[in-house]
Structure 1
Amino acid sequence: MQDEYRTVAREGVHETEINRSRFLCTLAPAATEEEAQAVIARVRRAHADATHNCYAYVIGADASVQKAADDGEPGGTAGVPMLQMLLRRDIRYAVAVVTRYYGGVKLGAGGLIRAYGGSVGEALDALGTRTRRRFRLASVTVGHERAGRLQNDLRAAGRTIRDVHYGERVTLDIGLPDAEVDAFRGWLADATAGEAEFRAGGEAYGDA
């Protein structure tokens, strides 16, 4: 897994005008291809009267899925420059749809490439991005008498408690960078006099 990736901070639309043509770039996070396609379909329905609705998306922290479409623009002048802008900015798990309303002035191949790629770049600047970092899922189980104190100690140590489960004992779900797992085990043993049970799980991504 990649140590980190960037994605769009939120869904939104940014509009630019170039030689009387309107370019509306819709950016949205997308965890799967199905989510990306759903955004594309929604934008196409909303702008069914537009001249073109071109798109590009990147799914996977390692950019394993990449798709782009020109939607009637000359081949390679719309979807590909949009995709290249996403990749150049290290954007993952995101979809971009650029809607064009033709204004009567032809831009030429070079102008189209700059317009479509630039629309995505400007939208990323306007809407913002966020970094997601890889971490190890883990759980800590203690007796009820220690649970409250341990939660306070974890927060004081800068750890985020993702969930709390109450049963015969209390289990706290947390996330740790891989490099800190061993040090955390030692800290936990000291903090609970060796009474806590620690279990490391799989990996996930979270906000930096």
Structure 2
Amino acid sequence: MTIGSRKERSVRENGESDETGESVMEQEKREQDAYSILSDHVNAELTEKKSVFLTDAYPVHSEEEAAEKIQEVSRKYYDARHHCFAYVLGDHKEIVRQSDNKEPAGTAGRPILSVIQGENLTYVLIVVTRYFGGILLGTGGLVRAYTGSAKAVLHLAKEEGKILTLRHAQKLRIHLPYAQAESLQYDLAQKKIRVLETVYEAEVTIHICVPAEEAKGVILEISQKTSGAAQVVREEEGFFAV
């Protein structure tokens, strides 16, 4: 099998903590409050016994958009025998679709979907186009090839920085005097708090994004750090990169 670019966790049972100090329940809650998305189109190519598998991964936000992308790939590779796909949508990954597109049942769509789910991805579509090379792969070979194709495109996406992890987060807007700004900015950087934007006008306005469960503590720390000089306003709450 050749791959080329086209352009444990272990957890303990019964509520015990792992080596990070998190309990199983805490880990599960954290994972439920986070998911990953694809930020841009990525493609990859895999060859297995002369069959060529061309894989396209897209960020999509609706079933209609997914259908359009599938048709786009089908038109692009109109002479190919199969265009198999899987996609996951929704903040809670509640919409799931997959298709073997005339490959033997369970050999294409399901393996692609398993890779997507294994990466905790949502709002993503993967389409794998197969050009038959004259050698039958068998059901096991097809499962391995479609699994490998999906893994290859997501591996490239990671290498290219196109997979983002989003968490349940709170955006905060901080208003403070210039005299306090530099010290607070240093403190935010030290704590690795994501700064979205800084605006310098009559006063300094800093927009930040923090995990939702940490927002109350961050607001308190900012107030203490600036001796009450900073005004912090809660803004949008949702799933954001933090």
TM-score interval for Structure 1 and Structure 2 normalised by the shorter chain: 0.7 to 0.9
* 1:79 lines up with 2:109 in the alignment: yes
Distance in structure 2 (CA, Å) of the matches to 1:37 and 1:141:
45
How big is each residue's C-alpha offset from its partner over 1:70-89, in whole Å with a ceiling of 9 and x where there is no partner?
22323333212211221133
Shift in alpha-carbon separation, 1:179–1:102, aligned structure 2, 3 A:
same
Distance in structure 2 (CA, Å) of the matches to 1:38 and 1:75:
24
2:176 maps to: 142
Task: Using the TM superposition, name which of 168-177 and 99-108 deviates more.
Answer: 168-177
TM-score by length of 2: 0.72
AA paired with 1:85?
V
2:165 maps to: 131
TM-score by length of 1: 0.82
Distance in structure 1 (CA, Å) of the matches to 2:111 and 2:89:
17
Distance in structure 2 (CA, Å) of the matches to 1:90 and 1:130:
11
Distance in structure 1 (CA, Å) of the matches to 2:184 and 2:52:
56
* 1:179 lines up with 2:224 in the alignment: no
Structure 1, gaps ≥5 residues long: none
SS in 2 for 1:112: helix
Contact 2:194 2:210 (C-alpha < 8 Å) held by counterparts:
no
Q: In the TM superposition, what is the alpha-carbon distance from 1:30 to its structure 2 partner?
A: 2.7
SS in 2 for 1:48: coil
Select the residue among 73, 80, 87 that pairs with 1:50: 80
Q: In the TM superposition, what is the alpha-carbon distance from 1:161 to its structure 2 partner?
A: 2.1
Contact 2:111 2:147 (C-alpha < 8 Å) held by counterparts:
yes
Give RMSD over aligned pairs: 2.8
Distance in structure 2 (CA, Å) of the matches to 1:75 and 1:31:
27
1:11 maps to: 41
Distance in structure 2 (CA, Å) of the matches to 1:120 and 1:96:
7
Q: In the TM superposition, what is the alpha-carbon distance from 1:201 to its structure 2 partner?
A: 3.2
Q: Which has the higher contact order (CA 8 A, sep 6+)?
A: 1
Distance in structure 1 (CA, Å) of the matches to 2:138 and 2:179:
72
1:30 maps to: 60
Q: Indicate the percent of aligned positions where both proteins have the same amino acid.
A: 33
Q: In the TM superposition, what is the alpha-carbon distance from 1:204 to its structure 2 partner?
A: 3.1
SS in 2 for 1:17: strand
Distance in structure 2 (CA, Å) of the matches to 1:125 and 1:169:
44
Contact 2:42 2:156 (C-alpha < 8 Å) held by counterparts:
no
Distance in structure 1 (CA, Å) of the matches to 2:202 and 2:209:
23
Structure 2, gaps ≥5 residues long: 1-28
Select the residue among 126, 131, 151 that pairs with 1:121: 151
